[in-house]
Amino acid sequence: MLDYDEEAGLYDASRGGEPRAAAAAEAVLDLLPDGTRRLLDVACGTGIVTRRLAAGREGLRVTGVDLAAAMVRQAAVRLPGAVVRADSRRLPFRDGEFDAVSSVWLLHLAASDGDVRAIVAECARVLRPGGVYLTTVDKAAAHNVGSDIDAVLASRPPRAARDAAELVDSYAAGRGLVPAGHGRFPGRGQGRSPRRTIADLRRGWFVTLPPGEPIAETFAARLAALPDQDRPRPDPWFTLRAYRKPGAASADA
């Protein structure tokens, strides 16, 4: 698992930067109901998406929260006074405090199904009646674009998809949330090249291929044998799902 305090300095540049952030923010904003005034962005990271959410709709007040201290420091520069360091499984906010809650690229990182349930439960708790929770699902699957790189990686040891859509649907339903729409957006600048994939492998990107282990180096050698080492393959497309908390409380309350 990557250390996101260590990742903070290179996170944006290594993951598509502003173009990817713009695509993600646009997808979230498209699913926000009219009248949304208070949005909580859970696992806001460096704030690169969160800042665009705050600027993307007039009158929208956005709060970011993240656990990694280095991420929070960067996000706080982008959104002064609007970023909190906290665990997404134990959010430091009141019940029903927000009109909408987003968690983009978070659930797939959870260590267990129980952690995903806890995150979804907390997002539902701080959401007002009538509000929406938006989250990405099936992130690992999105990176499989049918390329030669994917063919090499297909035989690596499997890892449970904590953010599988059907699981997230069930966790949301268990907290009384109902489906409220979906969207897709491109991971601009995230198309993998063989050389970049090898670098990611050796810094711990692939959980089931621990850096320095013989199995990891076997896959690195297979990737190194592919043609066009620096040519990015197609960008992934991410899936965003929205869930509504039943009720009719006013967004302006």
Cα separation, 241 vs 179, whole angstroms: 8
Give the pLDDT confidence score for residue 250 in this predicted structure. Answer: 43
pLDDT digits (tens, 9 = 90+) for 151-184: 999 999 998 899 999 999 999 999 999 999 999 9
Indicate the pTM of the whole model: 0.91
Cα separation, 78 vs 89, whole angstroms: 24
Cα separation, 181 vs 1, whole angstroms: 31
DSSP run (H or E) holding 241? strand 237-244
pLDDT digits (tens, 9 = 90+) for 106-151: 999 999 999 999 999 999 999 999 999 999 999 999 999 999 999 9
Q: Is 209 helix (H, G, I), strand (E, B) or coil?
A: coil
Cα separation, 109 vs 163, whole angstroms: 8
Q: What is the 3-state secondary structure (H, E, C) of 122-158?
A: HHHHCEEEEEEEEEEECHHHHCCCCCHHHHHHCCCCC
Which pair of tokens denotes residue 230?
A: 């620096």
pLDDT digits (tens, 9 = 90+) for 186-222: 999 899 999 999 999 998 889 899 999 999 999 999 9
DSSP 10: T
Cα separation, 45 vs 16, whole angstroms: 14
Cα separation, 87 vs 65, whole angstroms: 8
DSSP 167: H
Residues 6+ apart with CB under 8 A from 206: 153, 156, 200, 216, 219
The alpha carbon torsion through 117, 122, 123, 127 (nearest 10 deg) reads 140
Question: 119 near 110, Cβ under 8 Å?
Answer: yes
| C-alpha to C-alpha distances, 69 to 86, 87, 116, nearest whole angstrom | 9, 11, 21
83 pLDDT band (50/70/90 cuts)? very high
Give the pLDDT confidence score for residue 253 in this predicted structure. Answer: 39
